[in-house]
Structure 1
Amino acid sequence: MGLIIIYEALMYLLVLLFNCAVAQVSGSSDLICSTKALSVWPGDDVILPCRLQPPLSAESMRVEWSRPDLEPGFIHVHQDGRFLYELQNPHYNYRTSLFVDQLPNGNVSLKLSRVTQSDAGTYRCSLPSVQQEASVQLSVGSEVIGSDQPVQAVVGDDVILPCHMEPLVDVTTLAVEWTTRNGAVVHKYKSQKDDTDIQNDQFKGRTSLFHDEMHKGNISLKLTNVTLTDAGNYTCSVRKRLQKKKDNVELFVDSIDKKGRDVNSKTTALTAGLTVPAVVILIAGVVAGLIWWKRQRKYRQNVTKCRKQISPLWDK
């Protein structure tokens, strides 16, 4: 009787082990990766989520992460408890890892560190032993690009300080800020609207963003009625969580107004205008003086002539 019980227990155990093996080979668990494209900024670390569902241990499986567009295409290969670094594409050296302690739970997610622009693409996770495969799409956020050339403006003009994201990305949900070299806030945009509470008084009512183009990555600033004091270096920046990308734009302001007159010469011109009456008076005074002098000279000449005529008679 005892032998029969032991026999039945052994048979049950064998059946159980067989069913587990069949389940593993047939791939009764599905490999599920993120169906939503992941977006990160350059320099970020990112996790490409992928796991077996329902949970099935991947500890003894060969786990392959690859990019079909690369040669060699392997990003990370894990087999027999170790990382096969010799198969890895050199671009990813020292930047990839699996969560080895979670492999028994079916977690085969890949961690990619210090993301670069060239990391953007489609990543494929494969488990050959259970014939499972799935993909994750990764996009990498762009940089803020200002202007290498200074922007020239004239007093009284409206001017655009160019700045954009490259590659173009939607910034409507991000925080955008323009500041001067000394940190004064020129324009601030957050929570999908302009924030004028902390704007410097010098720029109030004179700045705006192109809201209808922000989804294309355009964060250029329009500054109206430019003054000489607006000249200087401006910083445009975009903030996402704790990361901030920025670049600079230089503004030069000429002192020639729209009528072609030098702003600095207006005071001189005004001063010159005020001296015209004085000049006229001076000239009139000189002319009057000349006339008086001529009349006095003629008078003296007549007096001298009369004296000469009277003198002989006076002597008699």
Structure 2
Amino acid sequence: MMMDTYIQRTSLSQDGLRRGDVSLTIRNVSLQDHGRFRCFIPRLRIEAELLLVVDPNFVSTTTTESVHPRNLITPTPQQETVRNGSSSLAWTCSWSLMFSSWIFTFCFYWTLVRGGLHLIGSSQPIVAAPGDDVVLPCRVDPEWDAVGKTVEWSRPDLRPSGPQKRVEYVFVYRFKKTDRDMMMDTYIQRTSLSQDGLRRGDVSLTIRNVSLQDHGRFRCFIPRLRIEAELLLVVDPNFVSTTTTESVHPRNLISPTPQEETVTNGHFTRFHLCLIVFSFFIICLGLVSFCVARKSKQIQEVKFGPVSMET
């Protein structure tokens, strides 16, 4: 990559490189060497230019090829030329801070929206006799329009079946309709949600003609909010039913008191989410500060200036 005329006449100091000194030594200069020289460090994207003046009338006081201290002109800070270093540093700093601020704002807004909504179900078991109709109460608090959002009811006690181990759901609501392809056959004709209730965030599931096979835990999950709640349905053959119709009788619902309500917003509480977002912002700010300080130190260690050398 080098010009033939400089291969045997140029060198760098190994000791100087460890200190960031990339000064170039040129031996036996000639009139053809007269002109500007540019030093560029791709890793830092910084460069500097120097002017070498070869004057035939300049009287040399040394006959050796070593570089005498008088031949080096130490540049003052005003003479140093660092072009892309400062602009690159400023650009990196501003971009990093802008990115961190955007991430923090987005995460903070997302935390407030997600952390402010809860899914409330009953902590008490829902008791029914075989053949009864029951409602598994579950609602979003505060009220939230769930129309068009995905709502999934499943049974965590049941393992995925089939060769593909696909999860089968008790009820799936998406795209403003029931997704029967994802549901277990035994629940397709027996389960439903209230369209009016969805507008208020009421995702309670109605199960008609319950049987002993329905006994167990049920889970409601809203992917959009990543919140879930679990309820227990107890089907007791000894439970005496007071109605022979298919309508849901009030005795089938155990209305939870505020202290008995099961409130869950997924695996994280609002406090945990805020803590995570705040920690992420602090880490980003620390990384930006570290990178800026390191780059600034590297730039300060690279010093160049005009040089006048004669033979």
The answer to which structure, 1 or 2, has the higher relative contact order (CA under 8 A, 6+ apart) is 2
From the two aligned structures, give the one with the greater strand fraction. Answer: 1
* TM-score with structure 2 setting the length: 0.40
* TM-score with structure 1 setting the length: 0.39
Q: Point out the structure with max Rg over C-alpha.
A: 1
